[in-house]
Amino acid sequence: MATPNWIGVYPALLTPFNSDESIDEKLFLKNLQAQIDAGVHGVIIGGSLGEASTLLNEEKIMLLKRAKLIAPMNFPIILNIAESTTKAAVAFAKEAEASGADGFMLLPPMRYKSDDNETVQYFKAVAAATSLSIMIYNNPVDYKIEVTLDMFEALKEHSNIQAVKESTRDVSNVTRMKNRFWDRFKILCGVDTLAYEELCLGADGWIAGLVDAFPEETVAIYKLTKAGKLAEALSIYRWFLPVLELDIHPKLVQYIKLAATHTGIGSPHVRAPRLPLTGEELNKVNNIITSALAKRPNLPDYRSL
């Protein structure tokens, strides 16, 4: 087992499909290998960007087992838990742990806007059902439930709740968490367009999206920033920002899949109800990606940092 320390870059992996909506296992492993080669610190399977809402749990387990076949021994494979009931979340946590998962990203209950206490009790039930490390996904913009500081206070009694994917889009929340808890919870930026800023504020890592298309550039920004080479990191980040903005659109899955197609480690296929991009929208996103590729920077030797 490769226990995550929740420090570094953790891609929220895409789930590549064939044109018939079956999972493209070969392309999944190609992208995963590109992430490993670039120096990421772990990966997350079946997140929002991985089209969790259209995946069966058995498909997530299958992807976990495939990933384990090529991942280094100390490389954590994290599964996302996004269920509608506490019972289902607990059952999946137990199944995934038995299948070799190294940790979990845990979303609040789906399809029901639970109140603060209901959300805390849901998280606690899952934490009590597994020995694996858990990262709470705090994304009130998309999931309408904010995990507040007081809620984290209630959760800290569970030692395996160890991190937060910070997607409130309020960069000050990094400092609020540090002021309240110091290092009790690792903080990982979950919004690509805020990553440089939050890393500078002390975030421990980055749950990245456009890393699925640009793994080396993403890891370079993280490593340079943490090494104090802020000007070098900022130069890459400024080049990257127009592409990173594809991460904050409702069609981020289609957009990022298109970017990964351009860089040779993805395909544009999605599962319905998502549909492929067409017309003016397709042209607009293509132009953003091709413009970035035309000016793709030469990277410093970030791996030695």
CATH number for the domain that contains residue 67: 3.20.20.70
CB count in 10 Å sphere of residue 170: 14
Report the pLDDT averaged over residues 254-258. Answer: 98
265 in any annotated domain: yes
CA distance 58 to 273: 20
For residues 173 and 201, give the distance between their C-alpha atoms in angstroms, rounded to a whole number: 10
Distances (CA, A) of 160 to 14, 26, 76, 164, 248: 26, 33, 15, 12, 29
With respect to residue 272, please indicate whether it lies within any of the assigned structural domains: yes
Q: State the Cα–Cα distance between residues 263 and 158, nearest whole angstrom.
A: 41
Q: State the pLDDT at residue 104.
A: 98
Q: What are phi and psi of 166, to 5 degrees?
A: -85, 100
Looking at the domain assignment, is residue 2 inside a domain? no
Distance, in Å, from the CA atom of 117 to the CA atom of 122, rounded to the nearest integer, reads: 9
Count of C-beta atoms within a 10 Å radius of residue 169: 14
The answer to whether residue 94 scores a pLDDT higher than 90 is: yes
Please write the tens of the pLDDT for every residue from 4-14.
999 999 999 99
Q: Answer whether residue 1 shows pLDDT above 90.
A: no
Structure tokens given for 205: 């890592």
Q: What is the pLDDT of residues 197-237, one digit of tens each?
A: 999 999 999 999 999 999 999 999 999 999 999 999 999 99
Q: Quick one: what percent of the chain has pLDDT higher than 70?
A: 100
pLDDT for residue 245: 98
For residue 82, give the H/E element and its range.
none
What is the overall mean pLDDT for the chain? Answer: 98
Q: Is 89 within 8 Å of 81 (Cβ atoms)?
A: yes
Measure the CA–CA gap between 50 and 101, rounded to whole angstroms: 16
Task: Return phi, psi of residue 254, to 5°.
Answer: -65, -40
Q: What is the pLDDT of residues 132-167, one digit of tens each?
A: 999 999 999 999 999 999 999 999 999 999 999 999
Which residues form the domain of 108?
8-304
Residue 3 counted as domain residue: no
- How many domains does the structure of the chain reveal? 1
Alpha helices per DSSP H over 205-251:
215-226, 230-244
Burial of 186 (0-12, 13-18, 19+ CB in 10 A): buried
